[in-house]
Each structure stands twice: as structure tokens, then as C-alpha cells.
Structure 1
Amino acid sequence: MKITPLDIQQMVFKVSMRGYDKEEVNRFLEELAQTIESLNRDNAVQREKIMFLEQQLAELKRTEATLSSTLLSAQSLADDVKRNAQREAELVIKEAELKAGELIHRARVELTDMQSDISSLQKQRLLMIERLRASLRMFERLFEVEEREALHDAAAASEEKLEGESSPAL
């Protein structure tokens, strides 16, 4: 049973011969009622404070949960970004290595082709030199033949001329 200040104020005791002083009991009951009323008010204020603090605590717990969730999401996102950046960097490196390998291969093929072209041109040069030498030898022989024929023709003409001068004119 809960006793209220009003219950205390309205409490009536039986009067007996050797009982307590009625005024003293009434004063005590009045003080007791005021004390209980004050305690009830303090208790109500404390309950309101407790409710307010419990609401704040619940709000702080929700905020903490939100921050914790946000932190976990941010960490997860950062990890994803880091993994993606790492993968992308690896892909860029592999692509660069492939392109470099392809360029090196092309350069080697081109070098081999150039070396082959140079070798072929050197052979053609030697062949042309040999042909020019053969042509020069042939022209030299032709000139020698021409020169001999010219000398022979000149000698024959001189001889004819000499014969013509030595033979009497008829």
C-alpha cells in the first residue's frame, strides 16, 4: 500500500486516556506529510531527469551506432578503393609491359629486316661493282680493238698513200 501526503494529513488516531498529545501528533503528521510531498516532488524531478538522461543515452547510442556503421562503411569503401586502385595499377603495368614487349618485338623485327636489307644492298653493291669492272674490262678490250683497228687502218692508209706516191701516174 502506497501512502500519500494526503493520507498522512487525513489520518485520525483513536484517543485514549494515556495517549499522545494530539497537537504534537498532528504537527508531526503535518511535517511528515510535507516531507513526503517534498520527497515525491524530488522523486518526480529525478524521474524526469532519468527519463531525459535515458533519452539522451538512447540518442547517443543511436549516434554511436550510426558513427560506427559509417566508420565501417568508410573503412570498407577505403579498402575497396585501395583494392581497385591496386588492380588498376597492376593492369596499367601489365598493359605497359605488353606494349613495351610489343615495341621491342617490332624493333627487333625491324632491326632484322634492316640488317637483311643492308646485307642485300651490300651484295647488290658488290655485284654492281663486279658488273662495272666487267663492263670496264669489256670497254677496255673494245677500245684496244678499236685502237688496233684504227692503227691498222691508219697504217694501211699510210701504206696506200705511200704506194700511191711511189707508183707513176698514168
Structure 2
Amino acid sequence: MMLTPVELETVIFRRGMRGYKVREVQSFMSQISTDYEFLYRENNELKAKLDEVQTKLEQYVQKEETLRNALVLAQETAEEQIGSAKLKADIIVKEAQFQAEQMKGRVKDDIQLEIQKLTWLKSQVDLFKCQFKSFLNTLLTTAEQELDLNIVWEHLQRNPYQKSGVEPAVKEAAATAEEAPETGVPQSSNQS
């Protein structure tokens, strides 16, 4: 146990036969008491500061432990979220691939349908062309057999001032065509 400065000041020495000089002892004791008082106060202040620092250290240790636990929890949560996000991403990718395959199938079916429609339309166009060619050939054959324009031209040259000169010429050409044998070759009286 440590003596207090007050206890040091109140110490009384007994005198012996050959004692010390009282004044020197008292002066020395006074100086020791002053130094000891300074050291005692400093020691008490340091103890108080040490207690304060230890309290803060304990608080920091608790905070560190709390932070460490929070960090571990945050890491676990982050890992869980990463795992969950990867799982969700995989599901989204698989759904997108499935939808893409479905869409691809629908587009393929639509293309096949359009190809079928185009094939049908092409066949209709080819049929129309054949029918139209046949119709035009029939018209041409009929026109060549029934009307020879050279006859109409000759009639118009003979009667240039006739009011309706075309009608009699057409009638004359038609009559001539009826008299001519039907060979499919155009009849003309004048070949230019």
C-alpha cells in the first residue's frame, strides 16, 4: 500500500542517542513530500486516464466485434444475394431461350405459310399468263381471220370523201373474210 503525501508530512521520528539533525531531516522530508505529492497526483491522474482508456478500449473492442459480426453477416448476405441473383439470372436466361425458341418456331411456321401463299400466287400468275396468252392468241387469230385491214385501207383509198368510210370498209373486209377459206393464215389482197 502506498503512503499518501499527508501521511508523509505527519511522520514523526523519535530521537535517539545519536540522532540526526532535525532540520536536515525535516528539509529532506519536505522535499520528498513535495516530490511524492507530485508523483502521487500524477499517478492518480494516469490511473484515471488508464481507466478511461481501458473503458474506451473495451468499447472499441465491442465495436470491433460488432463490426466483425456485421461484416460476416454482410458477407453471408452478399453471398446469398449473389447466389440468388445468379439463380434468377439463370432462370431469366432459360425463359428467354425458351421464348426465343418458341418465337423462332412461330416465325418458321409463318415463313412456311408465306412460302406456300407465294407458291400458290405464282401458280395463279402462271395460270393467268397462260390463259391470257391463249386469250390474246385467240383474239389475234380471230382478228386475222375476220378482218383484213388491207381491205379496209383499200376501201378508204377508193372512197376518201365518203362520210362514214370506215364502216363499209369493215363490212367489206368481213365479207371477204367469210368468203376466204379458214386456214388460219391472214388473207390480204395487197401485201406491202
Q: Percent identity?
A: 6
CA separation in 2, counterparts of 1:58 and 1:136? 111
Specify which of 100, 114, 117 is matched with residue 139 of structure 1. Answer: 114
- The alpha-carbon deviation at position 127 of structure 1 amounts to 1.4
Q: Look up the match of 2:75.
A: 100
- The alpha-carbon deviation at position 139 of structure 1 amounts to 0.7
CA separation in 1, counterparts of 2:57 and 2:82? 37
Pairs within 5 Å for 1:3-152: 46-152=21-127
CA separation in 2, counterparts of 1:165 and 1:46? 166
Aligned residues: 128
Normalized per residue, which structure has more helix? Answer: 1
Q: Look up the match of 2:180.
A: none
1:110 is paired with a residue whose SS is helix
RMSD over equivalenced CA pairs, Å: 2.9
CA separation in 2, counterparts of 1:60 and 1:153? 130
Segments of structure 1 that go 5 or more residues without pairing to the other structure are 1-42
Q: Which amino acid aligns with 1:108?
A: G
Q: Look up the match of 1:158.
A: 133
CA separation in 2, counterparts of 1:154 and 1:71? 116
- The alpha-carbon deviation at position 141 of structure 1 amounts to 0.5
| Larger deviation, residues 89-98 vs 58-67 | 58-67
- The alpha-carbon deviation at position 149 of structure 1 amounts to 1.0
- The alpha-carbon deviation at position 143 of structure 1 amounts to 0.9
Segments of structure 2 that go 5 or more residues without pairing to the other structure are 1-18, 147-173, 175-192
CA separation in 2, counterparts of 1:164 and 1:127? 54
| Larger deviation, residues 76-85 vs 159-168 | 159-168
- The alpha-carbon deviation at position 89 of structure 1 amounts to 1.9
CA separation in 1, counterparts of 2:72 and 2:37? 51
TM-score, normalisation: structure 2: 0.53
CA separation in 2, counterparts of 1:162 and 1:71? 128
